[in-house]
């Protein structure tokens, strides 16, 4: 989980997907406290998947997303929704299903 002030470059995201990872990105307005509360929970979900399930996941701010949006991607899947639609189980299912699903180079 990258610090919130780091905007992950597109090419780094694609490279991680090539290596069996799931990318979870978000874009919250600076003053949107409700959005940031969702991101707090989302960080916990992602850290749990990494620590307890050995899922390959990276998460960070992604300025290409519209404000208030969360996006998840894995080779070649994608899901995007507003923070108001956040559902912990939706995120957990996506990560569990797609982490290491594409493993062309044998990372998993």
Pairwise CA distance, residues 84 & 8, whole Å: 23
pLDDT tens profile 9-19: 999 999 999 99
Q: Give the pLDDT confidence score for residue 71 in this predicted structure.
A: 98
Angle between helices 88-98 and 33-53 (to 10 degrees): 40
Q: Give the pLDDT confidence score for residue 23 in this predicted structure.
A: 98
User: pTM for this structure?
Assistant: 0.95
User: Has residue 104 got a pLDDT over 90?
Assistant: no
């Amino acid at each position: 989980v990258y610090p919130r002030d780091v905007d992950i470059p597109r090419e780094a995201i694609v490279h991680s997907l090539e290596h069996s990872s799931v990318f979870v990105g978000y874009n919250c307005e600076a003053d949107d406290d409700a959005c940031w509360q969702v991101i707090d929970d989302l960080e916990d979900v992602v850290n749990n998947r990494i620590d307890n399930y050995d899922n390959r996941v990276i998460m960070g701010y992604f300025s290409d997303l519209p404000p208030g949006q969360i996006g998840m991607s894995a080779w070649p899947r994608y899901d995007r929704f507003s923070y108001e639609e956040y559902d912990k189980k939706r995120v957990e299912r996506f990560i569990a299903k797609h982490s290491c699903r594409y493993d062309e180079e044998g990372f998993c």
